[in-house]
Structures are given as structure tokens and as C-alpha cells.
A and B are shown apart, each in its own frame.
Chain A
Amino acid sequence: MDVFILLLEGIFVSFEPLNLGLLIFGCLIGLFVGAMPGLGSVNGVAILIPITFIIPPTAAIIFLAAVYYGAMYGGAISSVMLGIPGASTAVATVFDGRPLAVKGEAMTALTAAAVGSFVGGTVSVILFTLFAPPLAEVALRFNAPETFALMVMAFATFVGLGGDDVPKTIFSILIGLALSTIGLDLITGKPRLIFFNIPGFLHGINFLVLAIGIYGIGEMLWTLEETKGKVQMSKLSVNMKEVGRAFGALKKTIMAMNIGSFLGFFVGILPAAGATPASLMSYGITKQLSKNSKEFGSGVPAGVVAPECANNSASTGSMLPMLTLGIPGSPTTAILLGGMILWGLTPGPLLFTQEPEFVWGLIGSLYIANFFTLVLNIALIPAFLMVLRIPFAILAPVIFVLCVTGGYAPTQSLHDVWLMLLFGFAGYILRKLDYPVAPAVLSIVLGPLAEKALRQSLILSDGSMGIFFDMAEKPIAAIIMYIAIVLLIMPAFGPLYRKFFKKAQTT
């Protein structure tokens, strides 16, 4: 009952004029950002975070969450109409969305994507409302050792479940952590890693500099290379008959909706996973379980609904550990978490007791944003198609302008803009060589928090690392640490398992 009242209060908060205006504006920007090839929620949130400095934190989080949400919906538009995923989260939508568009059924694909997103979003936000308060209550008992253990587990998840090259993944985590140590040491006050005695390094490296560099500049370079400004738009006829036919086709997608919604939510909670693997897994499982699995890939609505349900559901799921544990579930929530610190909040379970308006305003806004995004998405399809016709050669410099101004605004230092360019170029090259960049962004956000938790824990234990593995004194920390160790060593067993499996098959 309490949860219901708090949720109602949260919905009222999101209906306040400023919050509602920003919510609708955020949904629109998100749809646009998601629809543009090369731009996704993480790029939109990273580039837009500097403009939230003048609004209250609740309005800021509602705005950015709406951008995040809208981008999940918008990603399908370019997947279907251009055959280029608007973001990595919409890669799986291309598999059946594009063939549907080529067959002349683009409206069916776009409607399936929008309704799928709505269902996934709604189911996940209900699960979120039910799971968040008890999880936050458990997390309230966490002290420094448990917090540090959780952060180690977040890093280990990237190694164990990320699926990328292990040394490159660990390198990405470590460089993010190393960058977060630049500046004044928390305890001794001594300057660390001040290269060439440049004073700009004394204030450390703001996570936004790395995030905008990688997801703004680096992503634009990547997209320029991929698209070279060329687009191939499918034809689309929008009339009520088409829309009606599209809704009719959704009757056969109930199973895809169930798989996408529930799988997406639980995959979204995992720090290394997020919406991209959730949507790919959902597509794969729906295809496996479908009676018409052979038709997948040739243009079936269920092949659009499954990944779209999952990516929206995962985006909400990834906010659960962010709000309750202070651990982001995706690169976008890592940036949102960094934003909370910039707005003067302490991410974690205390938010539920100290900032209920912020937490429940955000949760309430997810319900409202879900509805508005569905309506705006379907109503504005013709407008988004016009936007998609903008040549990339025009869009790219505008994004660069936003990156340069966004990189300068937080600290008002050109030093940060140079660093942002450097990270952008480096991120582009590293990404081309399959170095995952998301762990670096997660690490630079969590780095200072992890260091603080580690040092506090070591002070508590008189310098003994045993505090993290003591089942009698700190059972939660120990269990989390052991899970982290399993995750860290898991990739080593991959080749062994495959070898054993092959041998078993041959015998």
C-alpha cells in the first residue's frame, strides 16, 4: 500500500508543469536521438547532461530518463526505414524490421516496434516499482566493504558476461579507474598523475569529458566512416487502414512480448549487459521457441516486437541497481549516476529515504513517459522520416558543436575540451580494434566511489584485505566478492568447456 501511495505521489511530481514539459521534451529528443543512425540513448544523455545544471535534480533526472526512454523507441525507426540501427540496442530490430519495410509493410514494422516498446516498458516499470523498495531496504544495511564488493562485482560482470576480448575488457576497466585517480588524493591531499604540471589535471577528469569524448566525438567518427553520409530510405504509406492492419498483425506476437519484457528486465539489471544483449537474446529465444522460426529474418512482426520489448524493458531494469545500489546497469545509467553526483546527490539506497521526491518522481515519470513516447512515436512518424533525410554531413557538425560546448560548460576549461577530443579519437580507434569502451566509462564514474569504499574498509580492518572475504563478520561482502571472482575466472573456462563439449560430441 505504501508503495502505491509513494508511486501516486511520484506520478503527481511528474505532472508538475516543469517536470511534465521536460518529460515530453525529453521523449521527443530521445525519439530523435534514437532515430538518428549513430546516436543512441548514451550519446544523447552524455551530450545533454550539461544543460541540466540549471534545473532541479528531479526535473533533470525526469528529462534525461525520458531521453533514455525515447531513444529506445526511436532506435527502431532507422532500423526499419534505413536498415541501419539507430543505436546498438536496435540492431536486432533490423533483422525483421528491414525485410518488412522492403516488402512494403514498413508501417506494420514501426507499429510493432512502438507497441512492443510500450508493452516492454510498462511491464518493466511495474517490476521496477515492486522490486526497488525491498532491494533498497536491504542495501541500506550495506557499509563500505559491501559497497566495494558490489563495485568489484560490477567490473567483474563486464569480464564474465561482456563477451568481449578479456585482456581488452580488463584494460578498459583499468584505464577508466586510473583516469579517475587523476587529481588530488582523497586522503593525503597529494596531487596524483599531474602530467607536465598542467594545472587542469588538478581538478581530476570529469566523467563527462570521457563520456562525451567517446559517445559524442568517437561515435560520430565511427558513424561517418560507416555511413559516409549515404542513406537508403524505404517508402512508407501512412493511413488508418495501414495502422489498423499493423495492429491486427500484433495478435501473433504475445509470446514475443512476454519473452522480451521479462528477459529484458532481468538482463537489464546486470551491469555489463544492458539493452543490446537483452534485445539480441530476446530475438534469439523468441525465434527458437516460435512455431514459425524459419520465417524469422524474412520479415515477421514478432521478430520486431521481441527485441523492441526487451530493449525498453532492459533500459528500465538497468535503473534498478542504479537507484537502489548506486551501481549502474548500463553505460547510460553510468552517466545518469555521474549526473546525480554532479547535482549534489549521493547515489544509492539512501536516496529512497533522503530524496523520496527524486526517486518516486523518476519512477512515476517512467509510467508517464511510456505513454507519451508511444503517442508521440506513432503520431510523429512522418516528421521523423523527414529528419532521417537530413544528410549526415549536416548533422555531424551540429553534434560536434554540442560536444565542444558540452565539454566546456561543466568546468569552463578548454583543457577539458582538448581531453574530450583526445578521448574521442582514442575511443574511435580502440573501438575499431574491439576494445570495449563502456567499461571505461563505468569505471571513471565508479572509480572515486570504489576508492573511497576500499580505503574506508581498509581503515576498518587495520589494513587487512580479509575484510572482503570474512564470511563470519561480513557475509554479504564475502558472498558478493566470491561471485565476482567466479565471474572474473569464468572466461578462462570457456575454451575448456568448448574443448570438452567437442570431445564429448565426437565420442
Chain B
Amino acid sequence: MSVTKKITVKRAEIAVAVILALCSIALMIKSAENRITWNAEENMGAGFLPFYLSLGMLICTVLTIIKFVLKRSPQSKDDSPFIEAEAFKYIAVTIISLVILVLAIGYLGIYFSLIFFLAFYLRYFSSKSILFISVFSLITPVLTFLFFEWLLKIPLPQGISEPLFYPVYDFMYS
């Protein structure tokens, strides 16, 4: 049985509810680093609102779990795969490539990272020619640069590639 068939909607529902319950507890603990009490003399502590909002979240997740156990929610009776195998490939590759893109932005800078991201993504998922992919992958970062740095004057992260842009800035601001 493939991994995608093992992860059914039913299993995903309970797993996500448990994870959200744990996150709510973590938020409550974190909120309690500040004062969580409230009275007329002391006014509201900084942790009061986040603590009780997290408590509310915990109650909601517990209710979701109870509905699951009592089979009152549609998901609790659904044994179909949470995600189809073909779609899983799209989603997994997209998520991994996005994570690598953001990691690369911190090191290589956004423009070079975008070139690699677009080239990989288009090569992997589309049937376009190498020429199309190359032109598309180069033009998109150039347009991004012109739009943000030239038009909006918002500098985007450039990482180790920053010195390569000095001549362009000299030209733009001279």
C-alpha cells in the first residue's frame, strides 16, 4: 500500500486535531510567561488575551476530537486518501522547491534563486522547450528587479550576489 493510500482523510483529521491541540497548549504555556490575570485594580495582564484565546482553541480542538470519536463529522467516516498519488507529486515537489527557494534567497539572493527555481519548476512540470524555459527563467527575475528596485525602490535580498548589482545601482542612481 502506497503512503498516500495509508494517509486517509480520517487519519489526517485526527492527526491534525491532535497537533492543533498541542499547539494550543504550547501557546497557553508561552502566554503564561506574562501575567494572565485581570481585575479592576491591575487591569489586564499582557498574557491574559493570548492565554484565553489559546484555551478557547484547545476547547475547539477537543470538541473536534470528540466529534471524531463519536463519528459525528464527515471526516471521521472518510477512508478515502487524503491526497491522490498524482496530486501528491505536484504538492510535495512544490513545497520542497519553495522551501529550497526561501533557503537559497538568504544565501544566493532572490534574483539568482528565482532563476534556479523557475528553471527547475518549469522543467519538472511543463513540457516547454529548453529555450522557452531559459528565457522565461531569466526574464521573470529581471522584471521583478525592475519593478521592486527601480519602480518601488524596495531592495530585495541579494545575499552573496550583492556586489554584482553595484554597477546596476550606479547606473540607476547616477
The answer to whether A393 has its CB under 8 Å from any CB of chain B is yes
The answer to whether B91 has its CB under 8 Å from any CB of chain A is yes
Q: Are A464 and B57 in contact (CB under 8 A)?
A: no
* Residues of B close to A167: CB separation below 8 A: 60-61, 63-64, 67
Q: Are A401 and B30 in contact (CB under 8 A)?
A: no
Q: Which residues of A (369-398) have their CB < 8 Å from a CB of B?
A: 391, 393-394, 396-398
Q: Which residues of B (137-160) have their CB < 8 Å from a CB of A?
A: 140, 144, 147-148, 151-157
* Residues of A close to B153: CB separation below 8 A: 54
Q: How far is the CA of A185 from the CA of B45 in the complex (A)?
A: 9
* Residues of B close to A225: CB separation below 8 A: 83-84, 87, 90-91
User: Could you say which of A175, A391, A408, A417 contacts B57, with CB atoms under 8 Å apart?
Assistant: A175
* Residues of A close to B174: CB separation below 8 A: none
Residue in chain A with minimal CB distance to B82 = A432
Q: Given contacts A53-B152, A187-B43, A401-B118, could you give 4 more A-B pairs where the C-beta distance is less than 8 Å?
A: A171-B60, A190-B34, A408-B110, A409-B156
User: Could you say which of A394, A401, A432 contacts B126, with CB atoms under 8 Å apart?
Assistant: A394
Stretch of A18-26, A107-115, A272-280, A455-463 contacting B (4+ beta carbons < 8 Å):
A455-463
A192/B125 contact (C-beta < 8 A), A171-B64, A405-B156, A421-B102 known: no
Q: Which residues of A (424-467) have their CB < 8 Å from a CB of B?
A: 425, 428-430, 432-434, 451, 455, 458-459, 462-464
Q: How far is the CA of A428 from the CA of B87 in the complex (A)?
A: 13
Chain A interface size, as a band, is 35 or more
The answer to whether A414 has its CB under 8 Å from any CB of chain B is yes
Q: B residues engaging A (CB < 8 A)?
A: 9, 12-13, 16, 20, 27, 30-31, 34, 38-41, 43-47, 49-50, 53-54, 56-57, 60-61, 63-64, 67, 73-75, 82-84, 86-87, 90-91, 94-95, 98-99, 101-102, 105-106, 110, 114, 117-118, 121-122, 125-126, 128, 136, 140, 144, 147-148, 151-157
CB A59 to nearest CB in B, in angstroms, measures: 14
- Max chain B CB contacts within 10 Å: which of A393, A397, A430? A397
Q: Are B82 and A192 in contact (CB under 8 A)?
A: no
Q: How far is the CA of A432 from the CA of B45 in the complex (A)?
A: 37
Q: How far is the CA of A117 from the CA of B49 in the complex (A)?
A: 43
